Structure 1
Amino acid sequence: MTTAKERAAALKAKLAKAHPDAPRDSAELASLSTQAMLRDAGYPITEEPPQLDVRLHGRAVPGHEVPVREATSILGTVQEAVSACGQAVAKKATAAGAIHSAILRATELRFSPALGFGSVVFHLGGTAEPVTGDEIPETTGSDTLLDLVFRTLFKVINTAQVDDPAKASPVDDLRLLGPRTAKHLNDLAKAITESEIDVDFVWRSRVERSRATLGRRGALALKDAIERTKEEITVQNIRGTLSTVSTVVHPQLLTDDGRRINLSVDPEGAAHLGAYFNRRVEVQVEQKRSWSVTTGRESFNHKLLRIEYIDGRADAADQQVIANPTDSERA
């Protein structure tokens, strides 16, 4: 027989599913009620600026207070993850170095706190869509960078919170967002698991309204998914000029797109590379991509599998197999 608490939880879940845009807390309900009263009275409704509500609750937030260290740790990692994701969404992701100033400005959040029952809510204002007043009607309402960021981040967070391998995994999305975003999401998950504080996110803008929740269970699943993205092995074909040949140091390939790649090869294999020195070649490599959760920096290792000329002499006699083929090659 179900208890009253279980029946209440089931009813709450049913209502949330039937009304996904229903207010989540008293502050959101009050805001919606005020807007409805003004609209019904015939007053013009001032459009609210874009805003992220971050609600902290759980065992460590029994009333209207939250420890400063925990709150600043969570809010700080949220801002860093938002900026890093903005860089990735804008196709300007880097593993190290400063984030572009335009990305920082577009993803900057500014907060003011408000109290809720058994929780603390931080209202983080975001950058609005630029509107001059001269726009043609119905041409406004395009996605801002923050709209795209929260749509992307919330998908990862909600997938981790569900933690159902049969439905979806956040691993592939994390790889697309890059090591910097994954590093800051890992920091956020760590802050949540250590502080025993759950976090609800609500993003509202002119065109977007979305939500996400990250509790201890989801944070642990997110950390596990991030751990599984730390290493990725792929087989690639790369063209360039073999600029260094040695049995002592790594041979180096100057690629057609200007990169310098050190090729990992044993001394016996390196001894056969002399004929390819300063020649345009195509190499097949096993690329191992690794990154650090601590720093967010990536590192690459390229194991040379095969090399051949590409200047009109690519027959079987001019092809050198350096390492044993991988399982994918055998297939």
Structure 2
Amino acid sequence: MTTPEQRAAALKAKLASVSLDVPRDSAELASISTRAMLRDAGYPVAEQRPQLDVRLHGRAIPGHDVPVREATSILGSIQETVSACGQAVARKATAAGTIHSAILRATELRLSPALGFGSVVFHLGGASEHVTGDEIPDTTGTETLLDLVFRTLFKIIDVVQTDDPSESSPVEELRLLGPRTVKHLNDLAKEITDGEIDVDFVWQSRAARTKATLGRRGALALKDAIDRTKEEVTIQRIKGTLSTVSTLVHPQLLSDDGPRINLSVTPEAAANLGAYYNRRVEVQVEQTRRWSITTGRESFTYKLLQIEYLTGESEVADQQEIPNSSDPRTS
């Protein structure tokens, strides 16, 4: 026979293994209580649709209202960020232009507001998992595009909000999401810092329940991380035909992939490129990628470091290293 101490210890261990989410406000507590009461009474409880709860609170919201401009700007930035991130994680990211209609449908959020004391909560319904009714039992609940989007975004938000040096930098994750997503994240961070409004996110679906908070400190850290993504320098090797050689304008390479690339070189180095004119060459370049927060567009510049002409796909001849005017060895 177990003793009271053993039963208490077993109950404590069982509670420790259970993940409990504390209701954020009276409205959520009432909803949970109502669903539990209906379920216990034997009434059918409708499956909760995928939903993002966005709670706005902070110094700018002492009661239960929020200025329209701030609310619409924040919600608009959230929707644009979600759609752009959906495009990126679906590997169809573009810097500009129209997002594919299928991505827009899969990431569309629909508004249903509710008020709570000292905060404003917006319920944004998301696209449900496509279920036909013919599925094998217990096989529903697969991950949707929105599940993946919020897992990706919340990971970045958690890193910038905690500002923990031991955590990985969000810069690489931001670069993977592309300039369009980063632009809208920057807009959201600006609204939070300027409006002194903190935002709590809770995403619920059949497959996931995740949450994150982006406050002013995290928004400032996010903007700093975004600033560090605006320029990226890498070394690239490109094959093509040197179509223009001049000491007055940039030499141009018609790459095998199609685009015409302007090569930055000193006038002295350009004067030595005549032997490579209209020849198949392979160049080593320093590629600098820059993007604009305002437009979300990317631009690239290329500094020529080395050139070699190709006598065949497997044979390389006449390698020439291009002097770097900033290198003290060439002065």
Does TM, normalized by the shorter one, top 0.5? yes
Runs of 5+ unmatched residues, structure 1: 1-14
Query: In percent, how many aligned pairs have the same letter?
Result: 77
The separation in 2 between residues aligned to 1:198 and 1:324, in whole angstroms, is: 49
Which one has the largest radius of gyration? 2
* Equivalent residue, structure 1, for 2:6: none
- Give matches, 1:104-119, under 5 Å: 104-119=104-119
* Equivalent residue, structure 2, for 1:302: 302
Asked whether the 8 Å contact 1:281–1:310 carries over to 2, the reply is yes
* Equivalent residue, structure 1, for 2:201: 201
Cα offsets for 1:131-184 (capped at 9, x unmatched) = 111222233222111111111111111111011222222111111111111111
* Equivalent residue, structure 2, for 1:257: 257
- Which amino acid is the alignment partner of residue 316 of structure 2? A
Deviation of residue 325 (structure 1)?
10
The separation in 2 between residues aligned to 1:147 and 1:110, in whole angstroms, is: 16
The separation in 1 between residues aligned to 2:25 and 2:238, in whole angstroms, is: 55
- Which amino acid is the alignment partner of residue 190 of structure 1? K
Q: Is the aligned partner of 1:314 residue 2:316? A: yes
Deviates more, 1:94-103 or 1:30-39: 30-39
Deviation of residue 323 (structure 1)?
3.2
* 1:267–1:77 CA distance, 2 compared to 1 (3 A): same
* Equivalent residue, structure 1, for 2:8: none
- Matched position secondary structure for 2:316: coil
Q: Is the aligned partner of 1:239 residue 2:239? A: yes
Asked whether the 8 Å contact 1:236–1:286 carries over to 2, the reply is yes
- Which amino acid is the alignment partner of residue 294 of structure 1? T
* 1:326–1:256 CA distance, 2 compared to 1 (3 A): farther
Q: Is the aligned partner of 1:224 residue 2:218? A: no
- Matched position secondary structure for 2:80: helix
- Which amino acid is the alignment partner of residue 240 of structure 1? G
Deviation of residue 68 (structure 1)?
0.4
- Matched position secondary structure for 1:285: strand
- Which amino acid is the alignment partner of residue 208 of structure 1? A
The separation in 2 between residues aligned to 1:112 and 1:118, in whole angstroms, is: 18
- Which amino acid is the alignment partner of residue 140 of structure 1? T
Deviation of residue 126 (structure 1)?
0.7
- Give matches, 1:1-331, under 5 Å: 19=19, 21-312=21-312, 313-315=315-317, 318-324=318-324
Cα offsets for 1:169-223 (capped at 9, x unmatched) = 2111111111111111111111001111110000011101100101110010001
Cα RMSD (Å): 2.1
Aligned residue pairs total 311
Asked whether the 8 Å contact 1:305–1:325 carries over to 2, the reply is no
The separation in 1 between residues aligned to 2:36 and 2:158, in whole angstroms, is: 30
- Which amino acid is the alignment partner of residue 127 of structure 2? T
Deviation of residue 26 (structure 1)?
2.2
The separation in 1 between residues aligned to 2:296 and 2:34, in whole angstroms, is: 44
* 1:16–1:114 CA distance, 2 compared to 1 (3 A): farther
Asked whether the 8 Å contact 2:161–2:215 carries over to 1, the reply is yes
- Which amino acid is the alignment partner of residue 302 of structure 1? Y
Deviates more, 1:195-204 or 1:26-35: 26-35
Cα offsets for 1:204-259 (capped at 9, x unmatched) = 11101100101110010001110111111111111222222222222222222222
Runs of 5+ unmatched residues, structure 2: 1-14
* Equivalent residue, structure 1, for 2:11: none
- Which amino acid is the alignment partner of residue 273 of structure 1? L
- Matched position secondary structure for 2:311: coil
Asked whether the 8 Å contact 2:94–2:180 carries over to 1, the reply is yes
- Matched position secondary structure for 1:314: strand
- Matched position secondary structure for 1:225: helix
Asked whether the 8 Å contact 1:305–1:322 carries over to 2, the reply is yes
* 1:267–1:326 CA distance, 2 compared to 1 (3 A): closer
* 1:275–1:91 CA distance, 2 compared to 1 (3 A): same
- Matched position secondary structure for 1:85: helix
* 1:241–1:21 CA distance, 2 compared to 1 (3 A): farther
* 1:112–1:272 CA distance, 2 compared to 1 (3 A): same
Asked whether the 8 Å contact 1:16–1:22 carries over to 2, the reply is no
The separation in 1 between residues aligned to 2:17 and 2:52, in whole angstroms, is: 22
- Which amino acid is the alignment partner of residue 268 of structure 1? E
Cα offsets for 1:30-85 (capped at 9, x unmatched) = 22222222222222331111110000001111111100011111101111111111
Deviates more, 1:243-252 or 1:93-102: 243-252
Q: TM-score with structure 2 length normalisation? A: 0.89
Q: TM-score with structure 1 length normalisation? A: 0.89
